[in-house]
Chains A and B, each alone.
Chain A
Amino acid sequence: MTATALPYDQLKGPTTVRRLLATPTTGPLAALLLACVFFSLTTEQFLSGGNFSLIVQQVMVVGTLAIGQTLIILTAGIDLSCGAVMAFGSIVIAKTAAQGGLPPLAAITLGLVVCAGFGLVNGLLVRLIPLPPFIVTLGMLNVAFALTHIYSAEQTITNLPAPLTALGETFPLGNTDITYGSLVTIALFLIFAYALSGTSWGRHVYALGDSPEAARLNGIRTSRLTVGIYTLAGLVYGIAALLMLSRTGVGDPQAGQTDNLDSITAVVLGGTSLFGGRGAVLGTFIGVLIVGVFRNGLQLMGVASIYQTLITGVLVILAVTVDQISRRKAR
């Protein structure tokens, strides 16, 4: 047998430009940098450590939710319940600690378990019945929303014990004050970035979203994996609940009502495909920062908040368009 019988050498790899276009975080990163340059030039206050610290604080709750959301969207699912689950978790933590007499750490643990439990139920319904994630999480959104209002009796819970808001405290870095909560969010992004890109589990998550059949035929236990992903996402929402308490200082039953859509926005802006199997959690971090930078910069420019929402909407559609076009180019 001589040389290569299959004429594969004819195959041309994608060019550098195409490869860059195909990397899902390239576009979002460029957009983020452009936005930063723009706001640095048009406003005086934008480019400062204090302002960046503020931006991270403003996005850390949605950012943390968006981590869980990314996991689920990577499996070609979607989670509409994340904000409501987080709100319920925060009320559970706040009420059991402030009024129920539970030690703060026990209350926090309970809140995390409750949120993970919602994720578990979502995952079981999605996988075992099976039902479309959109419907399951839409139902769970209503369940969690109602439970939040029933359990809190529509009352804002104040006088939280200090450990519940400890993550809102700051430490100085140079002449900038950083909250511990910001660090938790950044640490979570790094942990999940590693888990998704550096471990078998991450490979399996991508394979599950790309082709569930291929994943199954290659011996990946897809049911266990799916339920695990939803449960893990729920746990992350529990951490977001704690971060929210630390930021607002009260248990607010009205909190987080649009956070589900904001988290999806961040994931999509970060270049993760809604069809599953493509994307990265660091892209989501960039997506979260894009939203944060635009809101912050436009505010500094004196643009009314409703226009910020409008611009975010346009950005999302742009992001999905770029995603579609770049993927076609990469073929």
Chain B
Amino acid sequence: MSPADVTPVLQARGLVKRYGHVTAIDGADFDLLPGEVLAVIGDNGAGKTSLIKALTGALTPDEGEIRLNGEPVRFTGPQSARQYGIETVYQDLAVAASMDIASNMFLGRELRRPGFLGGALRMLDKKRMRQEAAVHMADLKIGLRSLTQPVETLSGGQRQAVAVARSVAWAKSVVVMDEPTAALGVKESGQVLDLIRRVRDKGMPVVLISHNMPHVFEIADRIHVHRLGRREALIKPSDHSMAEVVAIMTGALKVNDDGGTVVADADAAQAAGVSAH
């Protein structure tokens, strides 16, 4: 199936966001296909954070259109994007350290007991939350001793796993992960990449924002290269070398309509050791 036949899960056309004289998003497009891991890369200041914020409801674009499963949507805030089934794993993980894993998974979306206890007394259904949390954790093959241990007793990778599991549990359409391996060591990064693969294998598309080129090449099905506020290229990691992708990111190379590359900045391309093909 070629990308053209498939309705993207999340799509944007011509997004613009200006702050005074600064244009953070300059006519950006975005396409996320079902079941793929799409890496979003770009130099610092390329505006990928603004793009992601627009796609997760954290900012409202001035112009352009966002479509979810083909339907135009307008997000009024992160809450509204979540209601559309878009969940974000934040860089700082957004977990409450002293609370246990199950409580964190249901934070802000607690389950109540049925009937009078839940209605009039607003009593939490702790047992059901623990059970459902266990199901979600097992679903992603995250093995933890106990779901009642505080998150602060976990390692960085385990906390990341909890944050990912929480997002996957609630996401109906898309999981967005902001630099999920940035704070982790080599081994733990590997575990998180495995986890991302399992999320994709469940059929949940993942948007992965990352600076780490080896990680991107290891896991991404496609790479969205962001440059100067817009999408510079949408490529497959198998078609290009890491050096080429970095060169596209910095503007030394450009991608043709036919998928080949041309040298845009000869000096920079030579310095990076890449050429057109």
Contacts and interface: CB of A to CB of B under 8 A. Distances in A.
A204 B143 CA distance: 27
Given A5-B194, A6-B194, A199-B124, A219 B108 contact: yes
Interface stretch (B96-104, B203-211, B225-233, B248-256): B96-104
Given A211-B96, A215-B108, A201 B122 contact: yes
A195 to B, nearest CB: 8
B149 A13 contact: yes
A204 B152 CA distance: 18
A169 interface: no
B198 to A, nearest CB: 7
A217 B96 contact: no
B108 A220 contact: yes
Contacts of A213: 92, 94
Interface string B77-112: 011001000001010111111110001000111101
A13 B145 contact: yes
Interface string A1-40: 1011111110111100000000000000000000000000
Contacts of A12: 145
B141 interface: yes
A186 to B, nearest CB: 19
B82 A219 contact: yes
A12 B158 CA distance: 13
A118 interface: no
Given A5-B141, A217-B90, A199 B96 contact: no
A7 B90 CA distance: 23
Contacts of B90: 217
Contacts of A211: 94-97
Nearest to B163: A214
A198 interface: yes
Q: Which of B94, B107, B152 has the most CB of A within 10 A?
A: B107
Contact of B96 (A7, A200, A207): A207
Contacts of A218: 94, 107-109
Interface in B105-157: 107-110, 112, 121-124, 141-146, 149, 152-155, 157
Nearest to A22: B150
Given A6-B195, A210-B99, A200 B110 contact: yes
A297 interface: no
Contact of B141 (A4, A199, A331): A4
Contacts of A210: 96-99
B191 interface: yes
A8 B158 contact: yes
A13 B154 CA distance: 10
A204 to B, nearest CB: 7
A5 B191 contact: yes
| Chain A residues touching B, range | 20 to 34
Interface in B216-230: none
B171 interface: no
B161 interface: yes
B98 A11 contact: no
Contact of A217 (B94, B103, B124, B161): B94
A211 B103 CA distance: 14
B145 A219 contact: no
B82 A198 contact: no
A203 B144 contact: no
A331 B152 CA distance: 7
A203 B99 contact: yes
Interface string B57-86: 000000000000000000000110010000
Interface string A204-235: 10110011011101111000000000000000
23 contacts: A4-B143, A5-B141, A5-B191, A5-B198, A8-B144, A11-B145, A11-B158, A13-B153, A198-B123, A198-B124, A200-B112, A203-B124, A206-B98, A207-B108, A211-B96, A214-B107, A215-B108, A217-B90, A217-B94, A218-B94, A218-B108, A220-B107, A220-B108
What 7 pairs between A and B have smallest CB-CB spacing? A218-B108, A4-B143, A210-B96, A217-B94, A200-B110, A219-B108, A8-B143
Interface of A: 1, 3-9, 11-14, 194, 198-201, 203-204, 206-207, 210-211, 213-215, 217-220, 277-278, 330-331
Given A5-B195, A13-B153, A210-B97, 18 more contacts: A4-B141, A5-B198, A9-B145, A11-B144, A11-B145, A12-B145, A13-B145, A198-B124, A200-B124, A207-B96, A207-B108, A210-B98, A210-B99, A211-B95, A215-B96, A217-B88, A217-B90, A220-B107
